[in-house]
Amino acid sequence: MIRKNPRGDLPQVHPSAFVDPTAILCGLVIVEENVFIGPYAVIRADEMDINGHIDPIIIGAHSNIQDGVVIHSKSGEKVVIGQRTSIAHRAIIHGPCTIGNGVFIGFNSVLFNCQVDDGCVVRYNAVVDGCHLPAGFYVRSTERIGADTDIDSMPQVSADASEFSEDVARTNNEFVSGYKRIQNEF
């Protein structure tokens, strides 16, 4: 469902993107080309700051937002999802938040008030809160990373993890054309 927010902003979805009919996009959301947005995802850019301002939620080209993902932002802060990035099932991205290109965010993970640079992998059930992950960092499953975390002790993304991330992105990218082709079939 594509709908306006109370301020009247309507999502902008590139014609080549696929948005599942059960997903909800509300407000100042920009979806770039060849993006896959899966069932029951919710992307809401509707909360304003005290001056009535809202920054957009931007989903970069060739990215995928999988089933049940929630993307929202406090007080109209910006959320940017880079290109070729995968946000896996039921993850929560709560702005302000910037996620780079070629990033993998695992299912049930929560990201808030953070910056995740290009090529990072955040595995399932992890929390990234109030910090900056430089390019190529690997967050293990169930790990909590915050402002007080010693980033230097974190591993870099392995070749296997990078290949896995690329395979997920490729698979979901193929869904775009497949689901667009059958979208009017019942």
Residues that are catalytic: 47
The size of the chain, in residues, is 186
Q: What is the DSSP string of 70-133?
A: EEEEGGG--EEE-TT-EE-TT-EEEEEEEE-TT-EE-TT-EEEEEEE-TT-EE-TT-EEES-EE
- Separation of alpha carbons 58 and 167, rounded Å: 23
